């Protein structure tokens, strides 16, 4: 990608409007100073003293964080949180992001706020050490009235946006935002606006999803193809092309250190390797950075190979941010791409 082409794409970012539909969580970090460790007089157990607490949007919120860092002009989170302290923190963290409108982010007593609580031990001169997480999730089916409000919100913005990102983060299907009824609504929108980039990612795989742009990892592609063994790059490209042809939509497959494969409905494929690792890494959030950058670049008119180049650069930036779920700005991505081309 030439510098001129890069600027042509990113110049459109401030004018873009993107909806993020899915499971928003609160990522709460508890920073622990091991030098202040104690033993409880009452229980005899070790006490971890927390010296700082920070919170940020997670899960679908991580995608939104990355879109905001790119300078996307208007962002519409579509999801829910509970009427609880975590919900208050999540809404405030979303509200603080430039360009975010909370008109379609539901707060409801029928759900608790999806929360990842991450204790981090901070030792001088060493990467943060994450202890066992403390998670809070919904384990019952999402009530019909909540699903209906989510669907109404999707229909309210579908004519306004330049792209939609769908993120399914829950462990048990039907307990989060992306239910069968919501998937049917997504299908309706994608049929209505066939040129609209609708890109979907799900931690449980995309089986049963309507034909939108699929973003998945290699294992998820194999599972969707009915395969269980690891396969080489030529097979991944072939499977991705078959899926893209069947859906009549592009497919993107992330392959960790091997990069990203993209496939077009006409059978064309492209593979770009990932950037080399520079020191310690933390892969949390890399996939969400990829999703955000694919969505933004495609909405701005980028070709598949260009969108993958943006995504690879963003992932490289994010994995080198330790102790947090990071983001990548346009300036950082430009520097990363320029550095790689000059090496």
Query: What pLDDT, on a 0 to 100 scale, did the predictor assign at position 320?
Result: 74
Q: 32 forms bridges with which residues in the sheet?
A: 50, 121
- Percentage of residues in the chain with pLDDT exceeding 90? 79
Provide the mean pLDDT of the chain.
92
Which one, of 86, 78, 70, lies nearest residue 25 by Cα? 86
Give the DSSP H or E segment for 134: strand 134-136
Among the ranges given (86-95, 186-195, 271-280), the one the predictor scored with the smallest mean pLDDT:
271-280
The radius of gyration computed from the CA coordinates of the chain, to the nearest angstrom, equals 20
Instruction: Give the end-to-end CA distance of the chain in Å, rounded to a whole number.
Output: 15
Reply yes or no on whether the pLDDT at 246 is more than 60: yes
Instruction: Give the pLDDT mean for 307-333.
Output: 85
Q: What is the pTM of this model?
A: 0.92
Which one, of 62, 2, 20, lies nearest residue 318 by Cα? 62
Reply yes or no on whether the pLDDT at 291 is more than 60: yes
Query: What pLDDT, on a 0 to 100 scale, did the predictor assign at position 342?
Result: 60
Distance CA 106, CA 89 (A): 14
Contacts of 282 (CB under 8 A, 6+ apart): 127, 319, 320, 321, 322, 323
Query: What pLDDT, on a 0 to 100 scale, did the predictor assign at position 83?
Result: 98
Q: Which two tokens stand for residue 316?
A: 């490289």
Distance CA 295, CA 64 (A): 11
pLDDT in tens, 45-75: 999 999 999 999 999 999 999 999 999 999 9
Q: CATH for 9-34+48-342, among 3.40.50.10420, 1.10.15.40, 3.40.1190.20, 3.20.20.80?
A: 3.40.1190.20
Q: How confident is the model at residue 281 (pLDDT cuts 50, 70, 90)?
A: low
Question: What is the length of the chain?
Answer: 343
Domain definitions of the chain by residue range: 9-34+48-342
CA atoms within 13 A on the CB side of 52: 7
pLDDT in tens, 122-166: 999 888 899 999 999 999 999 999 999 999 999 999 999 999 999
């Amino acid at each position: 990608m030439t510098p001129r082409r890069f600027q042509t794409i990113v110049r459109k970012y401030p004018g873009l409007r993107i909806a993020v539909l899915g499971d928003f969580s609160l990522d709460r970090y508890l920073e622990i100073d091991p030098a202040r460790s104690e033993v409880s007089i009452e229980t005899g157990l070790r006490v971890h003293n927390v010296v700082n607490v920070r919170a940020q949007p997670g899960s679908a919120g991580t995608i939104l964080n990355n879109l905001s860092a790119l300078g996307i002009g208007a962002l519409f989170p579509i999801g829910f949180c509970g009427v609880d302290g975590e919900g208050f923190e999540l809404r405030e963290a979303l509200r603080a992001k430039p360009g975010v409108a909370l008109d379609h982010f539901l707060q409801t007593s029928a759900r608790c706020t999806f929360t990842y609580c991450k204790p981090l031990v901070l030792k001088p001169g060493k990467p943060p050490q994450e202890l066992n997480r403390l998670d809070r999730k919904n384990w019952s089916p999402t009530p019909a009235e909540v699903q209906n409000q989510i669907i109404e919100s999707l229909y309210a913005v579908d004519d306004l946006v330049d792209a939609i990102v769908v993120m399914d983060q829950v462990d048990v299907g039907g307990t989060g935002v992306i239910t069968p009824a919501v998937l049917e609504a997504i299908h309706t929108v994608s049929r209505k606006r066939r040129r609209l980039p609708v890109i979907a990612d799900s931690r449980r795989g995309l089986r049963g999803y309507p034909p939108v742009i699929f973003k998945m990892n290699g294992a998820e592609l194999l599972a969707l193809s009915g395969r269980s063994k690891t396969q080489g790059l030529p097979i991944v490209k072939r499977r991705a092309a078959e899926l893209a042809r069947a859906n009549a939509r592009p497919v993107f497959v992330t392959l960790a250190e091997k990069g990203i494969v993209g496939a077009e409905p006409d059978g064309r494929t492209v593979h770009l390797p990932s950037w080399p690792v520079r020191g310690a890494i933390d892969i949390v959030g890399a996939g969400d950075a990829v999703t955000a950058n694919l969505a933004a670049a495609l909405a701005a008119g980028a070709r598949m190979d260009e969108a993958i180049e943006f995504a690879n650069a963003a992932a490289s930036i994010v994995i080198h941010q330790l102790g947090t779920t990071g983001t990548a700005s346009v300036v950082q991505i430009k520097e990363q791409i320029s550095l790689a081309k000059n090496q």
